A = this chain, B = another copy of it.
Amino acid sequence: MDLAITPADVLAAAERLEGAVHRTPVLTSRTLDGLAGGRVHVKAECFQRGGSFKLRGAFSKVASLPPGTGVVAYSSGNHAQAVAIAARDLGSAAVIVMPEDAPTAKLDATRGYGAEVITYDRRTQSREALGERLAAERGLTLVRPYDDPLVMAGQGTVALELLDDVDDLDVLVVPVGGGGLISGCATIAAARRAGIRVVGVEPAGADDTRRSLARGERVALSEPRSIADGLLASSPGTLTFPIIRRLVGEVVSVTDAQILDAMRFLGDRMKVVAEPSGATALAAVLAGAVDVAGTRVGVVLSGGNVGIARLGALLADR
């Protein structure tokens, strides 16, 4: 079966993103290298505009539409802000569908980027149906969080930059929710660096992709659970899964406690604020769930939208 994107799509996305996204820094720590037993390079997407890698995919998509096309997205998290920012940058109208009980700070932040927010009741309404209806009624284009080739290609620019900045990577470790980030990253990594191992990491309570790979077909979890709220997809995407099957060597899982340990390490030792989803890939390295001994490893720190107050509270409980 043909895969949804090619390496050329990632390069084309990188051109669209030029000047619109930050080239985020790559952080290193000798203490981390000592703990991991390899040379670890952390691609810090927490410093991306909007606080996560999500702007790459959203901007790649919105910039590919005819100028002025309005967009709609449903998300209570980083994708919402990313679509709002991309639309504002490009002069497009954005409607974001968010649960009515979302934190006020998130609703305000999304409105602050100029988006119209439409709330729904989680218990009685389907956000997908609402999104589709808005798209049809208002002539808006739906920007999916991961299962879209233009979004996937945009996310792949994370690995493109990392491979440009760090020579001779042996392993690339990437968090997995719906699979948009890892499918884009694996596509360009396999093309740029023959033989590189691409490893996905999921929370143990949301390991739909690991299970799907084991089963050989997409498996849906009834109720994914983790503090890593950005990785709670119930199944891999229809477009992302074939790429993961072909190009990702293994998907491992980490516990919430291991994720919190990684957040603490990142804050105390590396001075970086990582949200739970953002710390998940590093958690696998620190916990030994991925064997990186003697290798040169790239690790994607995918986002930092947690808030210092919540970060302190999460870590104080332990």
A224 to chain B, nearest CB (A): 25
A210 CA to B189 CA, complexed, in Å: 54
Interface size on A, residues (CB 8 A): 28
**B311:A271 contact, CB within 8 angstroms:** no
Cβ contact of A309, chosen from B22, B274, B307, B315, cutoff 8 A: B315
Cβ contact of A307, chosen from B22, B25, B30, B268, cutoff 8 A: B268
Per-residue CB contact flags for chain A residues 216-241 toward chain B (1 = under 8 Å, else 0) read 00000000000000000000000000
Per-residue CB contact flags for chain A residues 33-72 toward chain B (1 = under 8 Å, else 0) read 0000000000010110101000000000000000000000
A308 CA to B49 CA, complexed, in Å: 23
Q: Which residue of B lies closest to A85 (CB)?
A: B30
Number of copies: 2
- Whether A91 is near chain B, meaning CB under 8 Å from some CB there, is no
Interface of chain A, helix or strand or loop or mixed? helix
A189 CA to B190 CA, complexed, in Å: 44
What are the residues of chain B within 8 A of A311 when measuring CB–CB? 267, 308, 312
If A28-B22, A49-B30 touch, whether A271 touches B312 (CB-CB below 8 Å) is no
What are the residues of chain B within 8 A of A272 when measuring CB–CB? 271-273
A278 to chain B, nearest CB (A): 9
What are the residues of chain B within 8 A of A27 when measuring CB–CB? 47
**A309:B312 contact, CB within 8 angstroms:** yes
Per-residue CB contact flags for chain A residues 228-268 toward chain B (1 = under 8 Å, else 0) read 00000000000000000000000000000000000110011
Instruction: Give A residues with C-beta under 8 Å from B.
Output: 22, 25, 27-28, 30, 44, 46-47, 49, 51, 263-264, 267-268, 270-274, 304, 307-309, 311-313, 315-316
